[in-house]
Amino acid sequence: MKRLLLLLVFPFVAAVLTGCGYNDIQRLDEQVKATWSQTLNQYERRAELVPKLVNSVNAYMVNERTVLTEVTEARAKVGSIQINVDDLQDPALMARFEQAQAQLTSALSRLIAVSENYPQLKSDGLFRDLMTQLEGTENRIATERGRYVVAVRDYNLIVRQFPTLITAKIFGYHTMENYGVSKQAEITRDPEVKFDITSPAKP
């Protein structure tokens, strides 16, 4: 009897959930998580490239140790923040992650700008290869972040629209913040590089 009742009730429940947007919410939620995972993969790839880059320029940049230290410390800070798709609803943790990534981006920008003053470094094969990899990774980060922004937008739309917002409230789904969008200008601005050039001592 129970089995027969379940067979009769299940199609009705499935139809109700489908009609109220439950399946769409699930699909878009998974899409957000998938796009963030791809973004995170690229961030991790960048973090792996940083030590190799620092080692390759260390012998050349004898007067810019501060820049190398900033890059190393920023990379360490990024590595200290463990994050995954389940943390997308933790605003404080996501904000710290975004701040750490922005600091690493800024430090790398300064390192690249300073490297322009070392023609011998720019001609080094290892450095050129690492720069090519880093540039490709930055482009992939930008691409994946763009996809993540779109995925979050689509998800937020459906959990705010009627009647799917009722389903979202019932099952505990909330809008997500599109992290990084508000700081886009800060992250992408050109780095300011200043050199402390002292006049040679007079004999």
Segment 189-198, tens digit of pLDDT: 444 444 343 4
Cα–Cα distances in angstroms (integers) from residue 59 to residues 32, 65, 114, 157, 192, in the given order: 43, 10, 14, 52, 24
Q: Is the peptide bond before 200 cis (omega within 30 degrees of 0)?
A: no
Cα–Cα distances in angstroms (integers) from residue 115 to residues 59, 126, 129, 168, in the given order: 12, 14, 14, 51
Amino acid (1-letter code) at residue 8: L
Distance (Å, rounded) from C-alpha 191 to C-alpha 114? 11
Exposed/middle/buried for residue 140 (C-beta within 10 Å: 0-12, 13-18, 19+): middle
Distance (Å, rounded) from C-alpha 185 to C-alpha 16? 44
Mean per-residue pLDDT of the chain: 82
pLDDT digits 0-9 by tens, 55-101: 999 888 878 889 999 999 999 999 999 888 888 888 899 999 999 99
Judge contact between 108 and 71, C-beta under 8 A: yes
Interacting residues of 35 by C-beta distance below 8 A, sequence separation 6+? 144, 147, 148, 150, 151
pLDDT digits 0-9 by tens, 105-141: 999 999 999 998 899 898 899 999 999 999 999 999 9
